[in-house]
Homo-oligomer: A and B are copies of this chain.
């Protein structure tokens, strides 16, 4: 499952909606037991949430967008499929969110590619459920430091931290993803799925039971003048870089 939303695979509302529908189709088609997430945009796994969905819109739009972000995370995180990430480009924030939901993460060995949750640099805060899965993956202390500083890690550091499971030469990432998938496919589905669910249920339930409150929290936070100003400054900086 290659995703492609040029130029940077940002998670627009439309992309999120289509992604979840595609995933659901795969889940319902019993001939599929696993999926490899990778990008068709050179150098970018996913640039993360689309700031244009979070800037200058109305509260109803923010609420709809955040619900779609939650939905993406819940569907991927709790998927019955084996989900392998072949991270073939930069993977900040929402890109890292997708990678964190996977059962196994392989990253291309290119020091230009970085992965992490850099929300605090942009003046925003990662949601608690994303924080929970980050803590589960790299431990509480490493997560606390990385989240406060908005750190992005090149492949070697991400591997050392446990943020990815394996780093391979860039031209071997897809063959490696397939061989990892073969290894996971050798396990009986029912025991693998029950085990996955047992490991993830508490973290997922934590969001499910507070889902509406989390949406309201996001809407009121993102609607603040100060946050809108921060986003504006950041978007203008991006614009200048491109220009």
Interface residues, chain A, with chain B CB atoms under 8 Å away: 103-104, 119-126, 128, 131, 135-145, 147-150, 162, 165, 183-184, 187-188, 190-192, 194-196, 198-200, 226, 230
Contact = CB atoms under 8 A, between A and B. Distances in A.
Q: How many copies does the complex hold?
A: 3
A141 B136 contact: yes
A165 B145 contact: yes
18 contacts: A104-B145, A120-B191, A123-B190, A124-B191, A125-B191, A128-B198, A136-B144, A138-B141, A139-B139, A141-B162, A142-B162, A143-B199, A144-B199, A147-B195, A148-B187, A148-B192, A149-B183, A150-B191
B140 A187 contact: no
Contacts of A120: 187-188, 191-192, 195
A143 to B, nearest CB: 7
A166 to B, nearest CB: 11
A160 B79 CA distance: 30
The main secondary structure of chain A at its interface with chain B is helix
A199 B131 contact: yes
A140 B136 contact: yes
A122 B150 CA distance: 41
Given A119-B191, A120-B191, A191-B120, A131 B184 contact: no
A191 B226 CA distance: 11
A2 to B, nearest CB: 24
A103 B148 contact: yes
A185 to B, nearest CB: 11
Pick the most buried of A124, A131, A192, A226: most chain B CB atoms within 10 A of its CB: A192
Contact of A125 (B144, B184, B194, B226): B194
A135 B144 CA distance: 13
A104 to B, nearest CB: 7
B196 A148 contact: yes
A153 to B, nearest CB: 15
